[in-house]
Amino acid sequence: MAKEITAQQLIEIGLQESEADLIAHRTNFFLASLPAAECWSVISREMLSPALHFDVHLFIFNQVFADWDASAGPPPAWMPDEKLVEETNVGRFMWERGDLNFDEFHRWSVEDRPGFWSAMLQRLQIPFHVRPVEILDLSKGVESPKWLHGAKLNITDSCFVGEEDRTAIVYQREAGELSRISLGELKALTHRVANGLTDAGFERGDAIGICMPMNVESVVIYLGIIRAGCVAVSIADSFAPDAIAARNTIAKVVGIFTQDFVIRAGNRLPLYERICSANAPRAIVLETEGFGNAAGRSKLSLREGDLHWKEFLSGNTEFEPLSCNPDDPTNILFSSGTTGEPKAIPWSHSSPIRGIADAFIHHDIREGDILCWPTNLGWMMGPWLIYASLANRASMALFDGAPTGREFGEFVNHAGVTMLGVVPSLVRAWRTNDSMKGLDWQAIKAFSSTGESSNREDMLYLMHLAGYKPVIEYCGGTEIAGGYISGTVVQPASPATFSTPAIGHDFVILDENGAEADNGELFLFPPSLGLSIELLNRDHHDVYYAETPSSKDGRLLRRHGDQMERLGAGYYRAHGRVDDTMNLGGIKVSSAEIERELNQMDGVSETAAIAVAFKEGGPSALLVVVVLHAGVEREPDELKQAMRETIRRKINPLFRINEVVIVDSLPRTASNKVMRRELRARYVS
């Protein structure tokens, strides 16, 4: 039984005496009369408001679950009630099939892949020009499946189903007004882009880049390119010229959409200038409006052959989408690899169905919902957001600005967002600067988190901002076109953990000897809809299948590279990438394991632990790159000693930090992952 909470403990956290007495009395009543999970459910729902400082929430959460049995799984911070389960997309699906629980439903999705995806296509009402004659053709083996054999479609059709007057996008530019665009208006703009491409001489199959922020224009450009039978090449607007040039070369880009500037925190950051420095092919350039005296600025001077957006855009709002094979390419995305050059991963017309289904089943996206996920078309979550919202008859909410400050939080409130996606470092920034305090996020039904391993306290903090709504942890990859592991709204949600493999996916966790384990490298069982079958600039087999172990029943396994831990009761926790594993003193340890402990130290905002090789050879040294909280000052040597002591106490006394470097920020990819290769190169000994 959990210990009683005293008023004095709450006063020390910061509560007034009268409030502390009341909360302590009521909490102790529930602690004495209810099991821990039910106790927390009542307390979080009836007693703890977002206005109450989060330290109070965290303290009570830890007290309630102080004696929790780990074999029952990690402590749940949110539990679904029976009525909610019945109303969800997957709850209705399960009821119609007669499945007793989600585990049975998931088992069907991997044991009868053709049957599952056939039913899923009907459930999602994916439009086909010609329906498939066979859902899954495995004549060439599980490594080279052929999905939706014999079908003809244009996947963008799925984005334009429903009443044309319903809202498709709610959007706001930084320091601008909240605006909306209907589905009919979105479709008309998309067709103007598709016709503009034809008028400009682009042809079916041409690779056309998009290097600009996630805004209304980039959405219609993306859909217009695919509707016209061309291939969208996703390039993050944060990349330097060399990185842009490399992606253009790999994808054989023949044209690119961009804009003159990116507006962030009131600053104009040149973008077209970088496109020119990258020697990009013919560009169509949007001019940023609403910044300073934008209306009075002279027209942007372009390179010869480049086009202004308004000159490019056709006046014709009618366009017949090109009919394509399911495996025809629609999008080339890039993913960080272990070598310097990014992997170029083509998506096809069948790929987005994975994300649409994940949103429907795991995130419970329904007609009328509003999805917001600060992202970029240079990261797979950009295309994911477009399809996951529009194809599920929902709206997307786009904030063209920095999501770290209060203006973004107010946008989430005013836009009526019902599902908010995050990366964990963004949540940590909100928690550090307390920028979301006092906002009304009650419309949110669920959060989702991806891109990094989550921190339990940060995710509990996120939940408390909306009066305790579940966080759907979601992990996958560009080469998966969605997630391979996730949560659901029909299972209890524990902060920073996954509750199930994603529908249609199954995996095994293996130790370094290839034996099944509760903590180790995760391998996928192919095939699954959405899994890549080719790379433009690598040998797909070598990257994902070469020298992989077989499962104990002899099945082929596919490499993914994540380290995963199986917890009690079917839950999982991610521990970062296997290729971030370090060998210190002959003992293997992940960067994530070290960082998880160091990030909890006073004054530390985030860290990156890297193994740095000496030029003269010999064992690698552990270097920690540190970002401190704003206003905190610490000497590197003093911080190194404190971190050594933390590692000695929390992980292993043999792991010694060689050096601590304090920086203002960590280098990150467009998907917000720490660029460890860059750090290793920067601090090579």
Of 521, 648, 641, 527, the C-alpha closest to 581 is 521
- Label residue 236 left, alpha or beta by phi (over 0 means left) and psi (-120 to 50 means alpha): beta
Please tell me the predicted confidence (pLDDT) of residue 257. Answer: 98
Which pLDDT band holds residue 617 (cuts at 50, 70, 90)? Answer: very low
Please tell me the predicted confidence (pLDDT) of residue 55. Answer: 95
Neighbours of 633 (CB within 10 A): 7
* Average pLDDT score over residue span 625-650: 88
Q: Is residue 248 part of a domain?
A: no
Residue environment code for 250-273, b if the CB has 16+ CB neighbours within 10 A, otherwise e: bbebbbbbbbbbbbeeeeeeebbe
Q: What interhelical angle do 216-227 and 183-199 show, nearest 10?
A: 60
Of 582 and 228, more confident: 228
Q: How far is CA 172 from CA 188, 412, 437, 441, in A?
A: 20, 10, 21, 17
Phi, psi for 599 (deg, rounded to 5):
-65, -15
Q: Is residue 35 part of a domain?
A: yes
> Cis omega before residue 527 (within 30°)?
yes
Q: Is residue 29 part of a domain?
A: yes
CA of residue 276 relative to chain centroid, distance? 30
Q: What interhelical angle do 89-97 and 351-361 show, nearest 10?
A: 90
pLDDT per residue as tens digits for the range 410-461:
999 999 999 999 998 899 889 999 999 999 999 999 999 998 778 899 999 9
Neighbours of 31 (CB within 10 A): 21
Nearest-angstrom CA–CA distance, 441 and 654: 46
Please tell me the predicted confidence (pLDDT) of residue 5. Answer: 93
* pLDDT at position 586 over 50: no
Asked which of 47, 64, 81 is the last residue of a domain, the reply is 64
Residue 498 DSSP symbol? B
* Average pLDDT score over residue span 375-381: 92
Nearest-angstrom CA–CA distance, 290 and 174: 9
Mean pLDDT of the chain: 91
Please tell me the predicted confidence (pLDDT) of residue 671. Answer: 66
Please tell me the predicted confidence (pLDDT) of residue 295. Answer: 40
Please tell me the predicted confidence (pLDDT) of residue 483. Answer: 97
Residue 678 is encoded by which pair of tokens? 């860059």
Work out whether the CA dihedral 350, 352, 354, 357 comes out positive or negative: negative
- Which residues have CB under 8 Å from 553's CB, separation 6+? none
Three-class SS of 363-414: CCCCCCCEEECCCCCCCCHHHHHHHHHHCCCCEEEEEECCCCCHHHHHHHHH
pLDDT per residue as tens digits for the range 493-546:
999 999 999 999 999 999 988 999 999 999 999 999 999 999 999 999 999 999
Q: How far is CA 227 from CA 187, 320, 475, in A?
A: 11, 8, 29
Of 593, 567, 218, 536, the C-alpha closest to 375 is 218
Which pLDDT band holds residue 590 (cuts at 50, 70, 90)? Answer: low
Please tell me the predicted confidence (pLDDT) of residue 582. Answer: 60
Neighbours of 341 (CB within 10 A): 13
Nearest-angstrom CA–CA distance, 646 and 640: 10
Asked which of 44, 64, 84 is the last residue of a domain, the reply is 64
Residue 535 is encoded by which pair of tokens? 């790379």
Which pLDDT band holds residue 240 (cuts at 50, 70, 90)? Answer: confident
- Which residues have CB under 8 Å from 461's CB, separation 6+? 54, 57, 58, 427, 430, 431
Asked which of 17, 44, 64 is the last residue of a domain, the reply is 64
Nearest-angstrom CA–CA distance, 88 and 364: 6
pLDDT per residue as tens digits for the range 303-340:
999 999 999 999 999 999 999 999 999 999 998 654 44
Most confident of 204-218, 284-298, 332-346: 204-218
Please tell me the predicted confidence (pLDDT) of residue 684. Answer: 62
Nearest-angstrom CA–CA distance, 274 and 260: 10
pTM for the full predicted model? 0.86
> What domain range includes position 34?
7-64
* pLDDT at position 653 over 60: no
Please tell me the predicted confidence (pLDDT) of residue 613. Answer: 60
Residue 505 is encoded by which pair of tokens? 């996916």
- Cβ(319)–Cβ(221) below 8 Å: no
Q: Is residue 221 part of a domain?
A: no
Nearest-angstrom CA–CA distance, 364 and 490: 9
Nearest-angstrom CA–CA distance, 559 and 100: 32
Of 577 and 304, more confident: 304
Q: Is residue 111 part of a domain?
A: no
Work out whether the CA dihedral 94, 98, 100, 103 comes out positive or negative: negative
Q: Domain containing 660 — which CATH number?
A: 3.30.300.30
Residue 210 is encoded by which pair of tokens? 């998009």
Work out whether the CA dihedral 431, 434, 437, 439 comes out positive or negative: negative
* pLDDT at position 388 over 70: yes
H or E element in which residue 625 lies: strand 621-628
E strands of 201-241, at which residues?
207-210, 231-234
Tally: H helices and E strands in the chain: 22, 30
* pLDDT at position 594 over 70: yes
Nearest-angstrom CA–CA distance, 565 and 519: 4
How many residues belong to the chain? 685
Count of domains in the chain? 2
pLDDT per residue as tens digits for the range 130-181:
999 999 999 999 999 999 999 999 999 999 999 999 999 999 998 889 999 9
Burial class (CB in 10 A: 0-12, 13-18, 19+), 631: exposed
Instruction: Considering only CA atoms, give the Rg of the chain.
Output: 25
Burial class (CB in 10 A: 0-12, 13-18, 19+), 550: exposed
Collapsing DSSP to helix, strand or coil, 40 comes out as helix
The angle subtended at Cα 594 by Cα 666 and Cα 431, nearest 5°, is: 55
Query: What type of residue is 500?
Result: T
CA of residue 581 relative to chain centroid, distance? 22
Residue 90 is encoded by which pair of tokens? 């997957």
Phi, psi for 659 (deg, rounded to 5):
-155, 145
pLDDT per residue as tens digits for the range 40-96:
999 999 999 999 999 999 999 999 999 999 899 999 999 999 999 999 999 999 999
Please tell me the predicted confidence (pLDDT) of residue 455. Answer: 87
- Which residues have CB under 8 Å from 557's CB, separation 6+? 508, 523, 524, 525, 548, 549, 550, 551
* pLDDT at position 589 over 70: no
Nearest-angstrom CA–CA distance, 221 and 191: 9
